[in-house]
Every structure is written in C-alpha cells, then in structure tokens.
Amino acid sequence: MTLISLWVEDDGCTKFPTQIDFLGDSSVNRALLTVAQEVNNLLQKAYPPQTDNDAFETIAIRAIEPEYMKLIIAEPLTARELEVLQLIVDGYNNLTIANKLYITKGTVKTHVRSIFGKLCVNDRTQAAIWALRSGLVH
C-alpha cells in the first residue's frame, strides 16, 4: 500500500493534511506518484504563491513507500523537523542549519535528536538515507 498525502502549507505552517491510501503493486504506485506530481504541478500553476497571508503558499503531494508508512503515521515529523531533515540530506552541519533557519545551534540539536528518535536511526547518514528512501525529502 502506498500513502499519498496532500499537504497544504499556509505561511510556512503545514495545515490540512489529507491522506489517501492506495493498494497495488509497485508499478501502480509509480503511476500514482506520477499522477500526484502532475496534479501538484497543475495546482501550483493554478494557485501561485501570494503575499496575502491567507493564500496557500505551497501545495505538495508526496508518495510514501509502504515500509516507512507506519513510522510516519505513528510519529509524524513537524514542519520544522522536515526542514531540518532536508538540510541534513543536503549535507549541512548544525551551525549552518541554525543560520539558514534563524534558530540556535542548540535548537537544531534538539530537532536532530527528535528526528533520530522518530525515525529510529542513530546518525545523520541513516536519517538522510531513510528520508530519501521514504520520499519525505528529495
């Protein structure tokens, strides 16, 4: 089963998550992901980012592999943890992440520990591999 989620972000905060479960083999899942990505592209063209705080800024559709679904549903990462995880995948150290997100290095360490706990990993490499394989980040 593949979980495809529609997350609408408003002013940087994830809101209104909608999850749809699909049964099927991996070829069906790949087809669904392709459709989801096309829908995402169309929605972003139809609703471009606005300066108005009430306007939707980002619409993202992700397909999550089945083996990662249970962990994601049991303990979902916060929007900030996803930002930190993306920067970990991009290869940044804690100080650089702190500077990019305008938070302290200690806060980054707290987010990293939380990410490790939620993903059941022991280090940044494992977290990055998990994130890429699961489809949480790109």
**pTM of this prediction?**
0.53
Specify which of 27-41, 45-59, 61-75 reaches the highest per-range mean pLDDT. 27-41
Q: Where are the domains of the chain?
A: 1-64, 73-138
Q: What is the pLDDT of residues 109-131, one digit of tens each?
A: 999 999 999 988 999 999 999 88
- The architecture (CATH level 2) of 73-138 comes to Orthogonal Bundle (1.10)
If phi > 0 it is left, if psi is from -120 to 50 it is alpha, else beta; for residue 11 that is: left
Residues sharing a CB contact under 8 Å with residue 76, sequence separation 6 or more, in sequence order: 118
